[in-house]
Structure 1
Amino acid sequence: MLRRFRALGIGAAAARPTLALPQHAITSVSIAPQRGMAEARGPRNEFEQEELPPGWEWDDISPLAHSELERHREARHYARIAAYEMPRLARNAAPSHRPGCPIMLAKPFVPPTKAQPLRFRYTTYMGEDHPAESKVVLEFDPRDLGLTRLEQSKLIKLVGVRYHPGKKIVKMSCEMFEHQAQNKRYLSDLVDKLISEAKNMKDTFKDIPHDFRHVKFRPLIARRQVRSFPLEWVDQALQREHERAAKTGRPLAEWVDSATEELQERKRKIAERATAAIDRRAGGLLRRQASCS
């Protein structure tokens, strides 16, 4: 075929197919540098400059795209954990030190020691932006801080409503800062200041009584169902509540009405069961007498 083209006077270069472009398809293009591209091409409309963030020079992706990338990074992080770390978990398996054997990551639960009295709680929303994601909650028992009774009493008075006398726990939280590590550091420093102030015996706060009015104590009869208590206990609790209301002039508690109704229902069922038992015994006695006769 090439000889035939040569015989016809056509070169090999002419034998290759070419793309014929019209003259108007080739235009001059001015390429602006990447930095300062907004100034080179100008705004598309009159509102474009207002929509762009300050300092935007078209040299980076938008903040929305950055948040999307961060979400993808966190999703891939958990995907890597599920793919590579979780298969290595094994219950009741001791670590294997033989070469070629995977190291088991399962560890028995070890309760915190006396050197670890602080308990921090974090919250994550799995890649979703949430205003409460940076919140850190701290809980500790004043008895675990190595303080004397007088120092513990002063610390409890200092924390105020953050202390629960029933649980013996001080609970504090912080979400002032953007990151969890900053909020945790703030709470840790705050505990150090409280301990330092509690150990300062210049003012022991002995003349200030404990104020636990922020905790609403309810009687046990109000927290559990009436049928879980003996009838005598319920009668005594209702009688004491009526005496308190008559003495102080305050209205009865909210649980009194429901407890009274349930108590009457229990008494009615007990009476019905007793009557049914008597009827069964009487019927059995009559049947025995009839069979004997």
Structure 2
Amino acid sequence: MTTPSYTFNARFSPPGIRDPMGHADPTGRTDRVFRHPDHKFEWTTEEFSTWCAIVSKEWGYTVEAGCIGYALDKDPWGRDKQLGGASQVAAFERMDDANSKRKRERRTRVVFAALEKKDPHRLVVTHHFAAHPQAGRPHQLEEIGAALLRTFEGWGESVLRVEDLWFSDDTAILCGGSVELLIETAERDSRLQLRRIPGQRKGNWTLELLGGVQRPKDSWSAARTSQHEEIVEEVSMEEDLNQDQEHPLCSGNSLDAWNNSGTDTWREDNNWAGSCIDNGVGWGWATPEPVHNY
């Protein structure tokens, strides 16, 4: 089981100061400011571990608690280890010895007895989560491919999971809520290689940016200039410039230039994709899927 970590919220403000931009506890049980309006409670790591220890002992389980969802950026005040991850996770394992079985039987009788004395549940509030306006209305493959490349370059990674890409830079919105379109974009894009992992869900499949992440133009040019000065001093500045322009990772092969310099097949694919989107056929969106942002 997982639950939000209130301890993690301290990352959003300096030590000793509570982030005023959050959301008040909607249950009124605490004066805490939660980080998301849909959260009904947020426990500290100590509260969560204490609760896990108590219930596991009462019901005859062992438990291992920890955190997931660690921040990519370092905390400016050095609290990374102290604040942990955004979510807390606990893995409970049932013990089947005679004593543990008796504990569960006893606790079950207590729970059912208490339920008989409680008033029936009543509806407190209803939430309606409407589909995103772009659900079922994807952008063209070229735009989706460009967004994927920006994510690779922005994160400085050459290999990313499909799930990581899906929840970044509005990729889900560009895909109209269909992860199948993200996968199709990767298969059609000559700079990306999709790796399907047998037995794994699609979110764990990986995409590789062929050729790696492009280094900034200035550092690349400086490195090449230094190399030419040491090895081939007689090379002229004009020849060096021409060679830089021809290199596949230099500025002459920018993202826009690459997108517009594909083969006829690529251009035909774009036109075909646009036609499919305009006509609403060919992608299998009989029932539009909502886009979720987390």
Per the shorter chain, which TM-score range?
under 0.3
User: TM-score, normalising length from structure 2?
Assistant: 0.20
Higher relative contact order (CA 8 A, sep 6+): 2
Q: Which has the higher helix share?
A: 1
Q: Which has the higher strand share?
A: 2
Kindly name which structure, 1 or 2, has the bigger radius of gyration based on alpha carbons: 1
User: TM-score, normalising length from structure 1?
Assistant: 0.20
